[in-house]
Structure 1
């Protein structure tokens, strides 16, 4: 299987952070290249991570830029040194690169916070529920494409059940619980699965009830990936035209506030679980 034609979003982040370090140091790309003993073109390749960058080079550049944030430097060096091929690479020829990036970021996240208003979070979906959603995709997916996506989605869920499971907080609106994608049987099974999953020690599920107060949201799903250090956090926002990855400092702070304010109007986990089970009984 041939290598990916472009670096993953996670590897691109290394170059983004190196460029930010350089800019904070007040150095141009040409000045940084001279200090490193290379060309400006090679410096551009480093910051774009076109050919990858070594952990040693990350540390050398951090020294040149006078970066004193050692936890950030260590985290970037670890990212640069990690050349492991993840299971998601099996899907490189069958799924869009953004789905591979999503699986990679989930795999490496220190913790995850997600919010959904209309849909059940992907990591908590049953195969039948996911199949019902994929059948409604626009443009339409071929049957084999649907099965690839379901397989990929189920494998992503492994991070919640591994030996050291990822801490996962999901904020779900009651509207999502009452949607009957795939029909009554599929919806009931999905809700029972959701209630059972919420009993895991690493999963916190909180529901915003219909009779709750107002909260900030665009109606789109939001996934907040906590990095090894706060500076390496990432947000993914789903929209009608696809997903968007956000890592600007101001935007990360905005979404932390949005998630905090949404969580503040949720039911407590036990009450959320009770509501899920009542809705399942009513279907």
Structure 2
């Protein structure tokens, strides 16, 4: 059994959460589950809390004891084990908030991503100058080196969209976000031009919701939806005043899928969205 970790990754925590859900669905106590596996009760608790790593074989044994017959889910859970190497984002562990690192890890492992932004350009689509201007407005005010750490992290995150097999990425952006200006006029123009440029990539879809599209349902917050290898392993991060909030409950995941569907239905087509952004550039 791997050693316990004081800094469990978001992936390990999610694995523990799903194992706990399977156990509870089987109506087994932690004590009973530990007895079936032949380990101390604390071991099950630590696995479910993400404090202990667990092997793929042990995941399959637990799923068998829990009478889980969903082979696709079991295979997906087993594939989440055994990672010895930490991601590149760990170099920011003592610099940035855990939530920012969780977001990066979710992006790295997602099989598909959908995002919706009302007042901000999605982080993966921001230019360096736009990101720097945005971080300069953070409250409380950041020191220059703190701004640069955040900018470099954001730029490195964007590599997920340019790797050999990038995940499909759909961004729904409200006109308000496109008109929200960070930095000078040149920064604003470059950011809008960059949005048009990235849509040349086959795996990136961008759709604009104009002001005159009429009312549509939205949470009012930025939404990042990450698809897992199976639907049960999807995850959502929503923007809040105190930072990102991760959601993985089945009911909430379904809700945010509907929110994104409705936002997409209110948006212009990708082709018309490109024309809309091009017009905004001319108007600046």
Q: Per-residue CA shift, 1:63-84, capped at 9, x if unaligned?
A: 1101011111111111112223
C-alpha change, 1:158 and 1:175, in structure 2 (3 Å) is same
> What SS class does the counterpart of residue 170 from structure 1 fall into?
strand
C-alpha change, 1:247 and 1:141, in structure 2 (3 Å) is same
State how far apart, in whole Å, the 2-side matches of 1:266 and 1:4 are.
44
Structure 2, unmatched stretches of 5+, are none
State the shift of 1:10 in Å. Answer: 1.4
* Matched residue, 2:237: 236
State the shift of 1:280 in Å. Answer: 0.8
What CA RMSD, in Å, does the superposition of the two structures yield over aligned residues? 1.2
CA contact (8 A) 1:33 1:39 kept: yes
State how far apart, in whole Å, the 1-side matches of 2:35 and 2:96 are.
41
State the shift of 1:218 in Å. Answer: 2.6
Calculate the TM-score normalised by the size of structure 2: 0.96
Structure 1 residue 112 and structure 2 residue 102: aligned? no
Q: Per-residue CA shift, 1:239-280, capped at 9, x if unaligned?
A: 111111000000000000000011001000000000001101
Report the number of matched residues: 281
* Matched residue, 1:11: 12
Q: Per-residue CA shift, 1:23-61, capped at 9, x if unaligned?
A: 111111111111111122221111112121111111110
Runs of 4+ displaced beyond 3 Å: none
Pairwise mapping of residues 213-232 of structure 1 onto structure 2 (< 5 A)?
213-232=214-233
> What SS class does the counterpart of residue 225 from structure 1 fall into?
strand
Structure 1, unmatched stretches of 5+, are none
CA contact (8 A) 2:169 2:203 kept: yes
State the shift of 1:17 in Å. Answer: 0.3
Pairwise mapping of residues 72-87 of structure 1 onto structure 2 (< 5 A)?
72-87=73-88
CA contact (8 A) 2:53 2:82 kept: no
> What SS class does the counterpart of residue 237 from structure 2 fall into?
strand
